[in-house]
């Protein structure tokens, strides 16, 4: 059934348009260079939506507003030179300074830590080739697979423009109409939906990235950060109590553990896919709503991440810290993941708006093991570092010059430009992986998942929204849907 068929009975405002009134032909798929190719700058609807969305609040982050952070060290424990030429990954035992910011996603700056919400896991490596930012979450998947839908998704999680509150109708209406969200929603309402602390959860790069080696070979890579403290979670009742008694619980736990010398750490793993495998893999390997099964690409341990120093000023170092997945170093680059492609623009744009055009001059953001050498001048926070140097390139006054060496290997594209959905693979499906996740759970875990979902779905005002929401889980697993339907009906009765 098409989206139009699902929503037409309640549509009353006419066609969706751009800011200038032009009708929108496709609000589901961003425009790419052929099916599966990178997103095009000429997609002005995508850029308009992301740019407008980034400017909806000031000065707080729109998402990931509430956060905590710490400095640490990444130590390479395995030779990975066969996959990447990145210098900070060039020698076993090599250490790189890092800064890691944890966050909740939907809440504002004054919200509580112990809530059911994904956790941001944003990691900055201060490498000798410049800063490398890996911006992920504590889940390996996400709710949507195309950045053009991100502003719409977050609007459903934030306060309704009329009621001023988060509304179950908005949340489940969007999730029900977006079956791709079923996998992440199953994660979110399971036991790992409320971590006991930032130290007791995993982190994931989530997206697929490109690694490329000195020989010019390319590989697709996923990152995993496995907590050495063990996974610990909070039940719904315990979390509600803690959020009221101590809204700063996670931030305090992180700070005090480092003060005690109990430095939290994570074992770093990667999954590696030869670039040639991607085209014929059984599902789209760049789909952010899916994981790569470990039996297909086993995780390989490559390092250890340890946090060992607290920031001295939360505003200067946590609130003003900026991360962008577009901050790559030689040997690492993007993939055709359409969510990642949108974030390459949106994160930097958000920081330039929120903190200022020279946010990268701040101590927490500037390179620590390299020197920034640009022709950018002036603007808010400009510190005059360039003095009287010329501000153009090329020049004959000893100015900075291009290296003629791209950071990553180019990828082949073909086909006509247009608003393409992702290429279809043999086993592409929105419901196989959430069904597998459900079936891996114990009976107790399934019971808590059903209870958590039913409690929220039962709050919607319309039966059709509730039925559509339940049906997505039924399509993932028959038992899942049957038990959830009964639980929702009991609560709504």
Query: Which residues are designated catalytic?
Result: 64, 137
Give the gyration radius of the chain's Cα atoms: 23
Using DSSP's 3-state secondary structure scheme, residue 154 falls into: helix
Which of these, 233, 226, 220, 228, lies nearest to 84 by C-alpha position? Answer: 220
Closest by CA to 344, choosing from 331, 353, 335, 356, is 335
Give the whole-angstrom CA distance, residue 319 versus residue 317.
6
Q: Which two tokens stand for residue 233?
A: 């979670």
Lookup: tokens for 475 = 């399509």
What's the DSSP call for residue 381? T
Helix ranges restricted to H, 30-131: 44-54
SS3 409: coil
Full DSSP string of 177-241: H-GGGHHHHHHHTSGGGSBS-STTS-EE--S-EEEE-TTS-EEEEEEEEEETT---B--HHHHHH
Q: Is the Cα dihedral 75, 81, 85, 90 positive or negative?
A: positive
Helix axes 443-457, 236-245, angle to 10 degrees: 60
Q: Are 74 and 308 in contact (CB under 8 A)?
A: no
Q: What phi and psi, each to the nearest 5 degrees, are found at residue 265?
A: -145, 160
């Amino acid at each position: 059934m098409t989206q139009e068929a699902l929503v037409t009975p309640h549509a009353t405002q006419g066609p969706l348009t751009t800011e200038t009134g032009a009708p929108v032909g496709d609000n589901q798929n961003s425009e790419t260079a052929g099916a599966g190719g990178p997103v095009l700058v000429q997609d002005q609807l995508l850029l308009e939506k992301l740019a407008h969305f980034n400017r909806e609040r000031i000065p707080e982050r729109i998402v990931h507003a509430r956060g905590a952070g710490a400095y640490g060290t990444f130590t390479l424990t395995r030779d990975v030179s066969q996959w990447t030429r990145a210098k900070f990954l060039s020698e076993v035992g090599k250490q790189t300074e890092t800064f890691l910011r944890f966050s909740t996603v939907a809440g504002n700056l004054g919200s509580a830590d112990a809530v059911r919400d994904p956790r941001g896991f944003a990691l900055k490596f201060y490498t000798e080739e410049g800063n490398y930012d890996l911006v992920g979450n504590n889940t390996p998947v996400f709710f949507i697979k195309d950045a053009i839908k991100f502003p719409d998704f977050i609007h459903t999680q934030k306060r309704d423009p009329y009621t001023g509150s988060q509304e179950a109708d908005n949340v489940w209406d969007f999730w029900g109409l977006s079956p791709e969200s079923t996998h992440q929603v199953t994660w979110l309402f399971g036991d790992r939906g409320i971590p006991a602390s930032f130290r007791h959860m995993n982190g994931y790069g989530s997206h697929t990235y490109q690694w490329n080696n000195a020989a010019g070979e390319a590989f697709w890579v996923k990152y995993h950060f496995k907590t050495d403290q063990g996974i610990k979670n909070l039940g719904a009742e315990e979390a509600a109590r803690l959020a009221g008694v101590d809204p700063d619980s996670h931030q305090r736990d992180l700070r005090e553990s480092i003060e005690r010398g109990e430095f939290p750490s994570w074992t770093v793993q990667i999954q590696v896919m030869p670039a040639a495998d991607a085209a014929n893999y059984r599902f789209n390997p760049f789909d952010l709503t899916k994981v790569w099964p470990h039996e297909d690409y086993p995780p390989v341990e490559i390092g250890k991440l340890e946090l060992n120093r607290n920031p001295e000023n939360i505003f200067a170092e946590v609130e003003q810290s900026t991360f962008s997945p577009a901050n790559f170093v030689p040997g690492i680059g993007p993939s055709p993941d359409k969510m990642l492609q949108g974030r390459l623009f949106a994160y930097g744009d958000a920081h330039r708006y929120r903190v200022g055009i020279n946010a990268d001059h701040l101590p927490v953001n500037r390179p620590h093991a390299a020197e920034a050498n640009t022709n950018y001048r002036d603007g808010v926070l400009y510190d005059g570092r360039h003095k009287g140097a010329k501000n153009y390139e090329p020049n004959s006054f000893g100015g900075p010059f291009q290296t003629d060496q791209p950071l990553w290997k180019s990828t082949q594209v073909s086909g006509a430009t247009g608003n393409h959905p992702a290429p279809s693979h043999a086993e592409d499906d929105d419901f196989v992986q959430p069904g597998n996740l459900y079936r891996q759970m114990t009976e107790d875990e399934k019971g808590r998942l059903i209870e958590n979902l039913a409690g929220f779905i039962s709050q919607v005002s319309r039966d059709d929204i509730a039925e559509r929401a339940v049906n997505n889980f039924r399509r993932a697993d028959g038992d899942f849907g049957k038990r959830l339907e009964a639980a929702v009906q009991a609560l709504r009765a």
